[in-house]
Structure formats: structure tokens, C-alpha cells
Amino acid sequence: MPKLEFRQAIRDALDEELDHDDRVIFFGEDVALPGGVFATTGGLAEKYGSERVFDTPISELAITGAAFGSAVCGLRPVIEIMFGDFLLLSMDSLVNQSAKYWYLSNEQASVPLVVRSAVGAGGNFGAIHSQNPISWFHNVPGLKIVAPSTPSDAKALLKAAIRDDNPVVFFEHKRLYSMKEDVAEAGASVVAELGRAAVVRTGADVTLVSCMKGVHDCLAAAELLAGSGVDAEVIDLRTIRPLDRETILVSLAKTNRLCVVEEGPVTGGWAGEVLSVAIEGALHDVDDAWRIATADQPIPYSPPLEDAFLPSADSIASSVREHLGASVPTTA
């Protein structure tokens, strides 16, 4: 069975959508001839030419403004903002223009653009190259937020995002780019449905909910918990906005316990929104609900401090043990 690498999945999705629709264009810093700083876009410029795949000056606001302008003029731009931390420089075009244009135009003009960006800690990139800025966009009506955890999902969700008529922020965790996954057909042109979570491990005792790298931490924690007789169900949200409330509530009806794992500051994070789903939608069925997130402080540069700062399989399992009163073995 062939293997698909996460970075190759991103490249394949872009390639297939550029081939599928002549309106799709792709641009950003070092994405064309250099092939992207994370080696995700090699060969696209040579294949599709400089009018459809091209490098830009170092100006995130200019890149996003050009994407907005080309989208409302009939194209379907995909742009790359190299690090998610730099999305602050794109806020006006994304939040005040792209996200609101459908409403301001009285539903006469859509804005089909996709913003790809690498996010996440664990690689010792420091405080301003390691953030996970989902919460910055979480309360913006009109924006969709996608956060895949596997190569196959990355490909299928990126294809769906490019075909969507709304602006989509597509987050790629840096620690997943080298992940490989067995796939039935590496070139299969599957297009996912935005807003659908996936139950990636079934269980009966507690529901663990996360996205991106957090899903793999939850799966590893579930294996630790299984050693002490705790059966954990793991949900991969896949998209943060729209949020698949139904899948969460169906799982809670079975487990009655919810732990949400977010790589991001505990204050104002998307994990709180997931907890509100439990409170508002299934309060009478939930015995316990809590979240695991990072402290309200900048991300440390020091490798051991960064490791201690982030949620991990051990810390997730330990937290579940504390809440359920179960004994959980730790990794070596």
C-alpha cells in the first residue's frame, strides 16, 4: 500500500485543483521557484507558469489584499502566509473585507479564497514563530477554519477549501509535515466535506477532542489509558469553524465525559467553545468536562521548557486519570 506524506498531500491537492479549474491561482513568499520553506509546493510554478503560480514581495497584507481583489474579480486564489504568527499583518483584508463581503454585497459576490499557513510549536522556533492562532479568527463570521491531522485529510480538506465559495483559513501544523500515512490510492481525488469531524478511535469511558497534532497526542494518551482499563474515544474535529456539534454530542451520550485538548492559550481558546457544546447541548448527560491547553504565556524557546509547556500524551493521560480516578502508566 503506498504511503502519502503530509507535505506531499498539500502539494498534490494544489496540483489537482490548479489542473481542475483555470480560475485557481497560487502565490505567496517563496512558494514558486523555491518550492516553499517547508517543501510543500515544488514543481507547481514550472508546471503551471508564472501567471498562475508566483512569488510575491514580503508583505502579508499585500498578499492577502491581492487575494481578496482577485477573488471578487472571479478568480479562486490560494495564498501562503509562511508562518501563522504573521497572519496578524493580514487581519484587515481577511476580517474586515474577505469575511464580510458576502454580507456587505447583499449576497451578490462571494470571496472564494484560501489562506494556507504553517502553525504550531514543538520545533523550537521561539515565541513568534510557534503560535497556533486559531482563536484569532474563531469569532469572525464568514471565515471557515480548517485544521487537518493526517495526510489524507490534509489533501481532501484542502481540495474542499479551494472549491468552497467562502474565505477559508487552512492551518498546517509544522510537526506533521513529515508524517506519512498508508493510503489505498495516493492519487485519489477525494474532496472532503467541511464541517464534519471524524471519530478516529471508539471508546466508552471518556471523549477526547482535538485537532492537528493534538489528535495524535490524544491517540497516544488513549493507548496509555487502555493499559489501566480506561476506554477513550478520540474525535478529530478537522474543521474548527464550522464545528461539528452533532458528532461531539453523540459521543458524549455514550461516554458522559469530555476532555478537550488545545495547543493554544487556555484563555479565549476554541476548546472553550467545545465545552459550551457539552454544557448547552448535553448538560444532563455529562458527568465531567474539562480542557487541557497551554498556559497564558509566550511559547518558550528552550527545548525542555517547550516540551513541558505543550500538552502531551502523558499529560493528557494523567489529567484523565485525575478526573476518572484511574491509574495510568506513563511512557518511558
Question: What residue type is assigned to position 234 of the chain?
Answer: V
Which residue's C-alpha cell is 497564558? 296
**All residues at 6 or more sequence positions from 239 whose CB lies less than 8 Å from its CB, including other chains:** 144, 145, 146, 147, 157, 194, 195, 196, 197
Q: Are 316 and 221 in contact (CB under 8 A)?
A: yes
d(CA 302, CA 24): 41
For the record, the C-alpha cell of 154 comes out as 490534509
Q: Are 121 and 84 in contact (CB under 8 A)?
A: no
Count of C-beta atoms within a 10 Å radius of residue 28 = 26
CA distances from 96 to 140, 168, 208 (A): 9, 14, 34
Known catalytic residue: 129? yes
- Dihedral of the alpha carbons of 322, 324, 327, 332, in degrees to the nearest 10: -60
**All residues at 6 or more sequence positions from 113 whose CB lies less than 8 Å from its CB, including other chains:** 67, 68, 70, 71, 76, 77, 78, 79, 98, 167, 168
For the record, the C-alpha cell of 265 comes out as 492559550
d(CA 4, CA 237): 21
Choose the catalytic residue: 129, 138, 173, 216. Answer: 129
In terms of C-beta density within 10 A (0-12 exposed, 13-18 middle, 19 or more buried), how is residue 127 classed? middle
Q: Are 98 and 142 in contact (CB under 8 A)?
A: yes
Just list the catalytic residues. Answer: 129
